Chains A and B, each alone.
Chain A
């Protein structure tokens, strides 16, 4: 009787980029559903426009670069970039905003560097940052969650949403924009945390963080845990980021005084924290490579997020923090090379002149 001798890993089939991206797309669904539940059709329209633009730009640049188009489109990486950008943008953003963001993400941040695997920065976050510094007004007008609606007020209909997005006719939407929890917290100067929580319906109607936003973040957390279960990525970067953010929040909470940076729950479940922690910083291309490196990389992002949120000019900071740490990823890799089994210590990442 002959045994088939195969060395480890004993996987049935190799993991393909395509499968991985499909899992990621599936895992964003709870978040998209939650966003739609609280903010209406805006996010779905965003994701739709963003994906179409991303795929079209990817195909265009691939054909200019004389690469096989279908082969690269079918790895779904452009689609994932489109979805992540669409989820990060404010609902009911004008269509040209989404198109510019998605096109710069794919063309500038991904294809100019050589396509999937060569991009030093996370494409979706580059697109987001370009939009944020170019169109601050459009990028900061978020919808209010339906938890805060007065009696009889309902989410805008699909027709009104489409009109606002494509024709700029925002009459049906105007009553629905408001500050995000992080915006609110940042602009309330000189009040105790308790006072802010009592005075603002966004906090007083919430269960533990900010109305609506908390459940959006819980949904992204659920999607992220699913990906962790499917082993799409290791726990190191997200856990280290959330931990670093919590530690920073704990250190600078200051007992809820008027200089406080906000509670741990507020920071963990507001803005793009969970979307960033599980879908953005786990990007295998632009993050650090080794496990130790990913812990440092995630912690760096967590600390930067807190610093920019509390002492910076922008209410949310996932995109800036991720881009800054993307810069640092090669440097982190240099110092965190894993030890090879059987060796006492790791060798250096790049060979020096003397060796």
Chain B
């Protein structure tokens, strides 16, 4: 009986040992790069698409929801990292969800206190941050395996990556849909920000409703993903071109039968 348990547990122990090694030398550059670019929650993991597509109609909405998500993500990552050694696998997910829900409620109350109008505009999407898979994903994939500081940084970088994409989509949709940029910023930054509004496409722009409606969000998000992949492909090509080619000497033959392994 004991032996079987040992064989089952051994690989896990090894894995945790490897992780412990990895976390002792945490690469903060790698975390930053992952969050902002190579593993961006919105453009690569495609998580949290529901708020991403639903509330990115203008820059102010995007920043509002992006900041709220950022706060929840940092908070939940820190707490999950703190309790990672006392929570068993069986109850892991429910506990994470409760932690995330608590932080979401905090954020919701904060927004209700300080940015009430924006809170009303964003409406159901603030409570729905609980269901944002990007947050649960980070808790499960990173925070529950790493120490507090790396987890907090990871939460911040992932949240920032999400926020930046959200703001990009919001800006593009606002410009095409309404012809403005940074309209209604007073909802978030106080009365002084009312004058930030730029009428990018002139005062008589008739508006292009499809950009404001959900199809526009899908279109813009699709274009951003394609644009990111284009840049990645270009960089990869340059990297390969810069590498010295290693030519394998000897005869080669093309395999024409059997399965290619």
B125-149 contact mask (Cβ, 8 Å, vs A): 1 or 0: 0000000000000000000000000
Interface size on B, residues (CB 8 A): 8
- The A interface is mostly helix, strand or loop, or mixed, namely helix
Measured CB to CB, the nearest residue on chain B to A131 is B210
Which residues of A in the span 8-31 have a Cβ within 8 Å of any Cβ on B?
none
Number of chain A interface residues as a range: under 10
Which residues of A in the span 90-133 have a Cβ within 8 Å of any Cβ on B?
100, 108, 130, 133
By the criterion CB–CB under 8 Å, are B209 and A135 in contact? yes
Q: B219: CB under 8 A from chain A?
A: yes
Q: Could you count the A-B residue pairs with CB atoms below 8 Å apart for me: how many are there?
A: 15
Q: A134: CB under 8 A from chain B?
A: yes
Q: How far is the CA of A108 from the CA of B226 in the complex (A)?
A: 13
Q: How far is the CA of A130 from the CA of B209 in the complex (A)?
A: 9
By the criterion CB–CB under 8 Å, are A133 and B219 in contact? no
* Chain A residue contacts of B207, Cβ below 8 A: 134
* Chain A residue contacts of B210, Cβ below 8 A: 130, 133-134
Q: How far is the CA of A289 from the CA of B170 in the complex (A)?
A: 40
* Chain B residue contacts of A136, Cβ below 8 A: 209
Q: How far is the CA of A134 from the CA of B206 in the complex (A)?
A: 10
Name A108's contact: one of B208, B213, B219 (CB within 8 Å): B219
Measured CB to CB, the nearest residue on chain A to B223 is A112
By the criterion CB–CB under 8 Å, are A133 and B213 in contact? yes
Q: How far is the CA of A134 from the CA of B215 in the complex (A)?
A: 11
* Chain A residue contacts of B206, Cβ below 8 A: 135
Which residues of B in the span 96-110 have a Cβ within 8 Å of any Cβ on A?
none
Interchain nearest-CB distance for B237 vs A (Å): 15
Interchain nearest-CB distance for B173 vs A (Å): 13
Measured CB to CB, the nearest residue on chain A to B226 is A112
Q: How far is the CA of A130 from the CA of B210 in the complex (A)?
A: 6
Which residues of A in the span 127-160 have a Cβ within 8 Å of any Cβ on B?
130, 133-136
Interchain nearest-CB distance for A82 vs B (Å): 20
Known contacts A130-B215, A134-B209, then 12 further A-B pairs from the complex at CB < 8 Å, ordered by chain A residue: A100-B208, A130-B210, A133-B209, A133-B210, A133-B213, A133-B215, A134-B207, A134-B208, A134-B210, A135-B206, A135-B209, A136-B209
> Can you give 15 A-B contacts (C-beta < 8 A)?
A100-B208, A108-B219, A130-B210, A130-B215, A133-B209, A133-B210, A133-B213, A133-B215, A134-B207, A134-B208, A134-B209, A134-B210, A135-B206, A135-B209, A136-B209
Q: 3 nearest interchain CB pairs? A: A134-B209, A134-B210, A130-B210
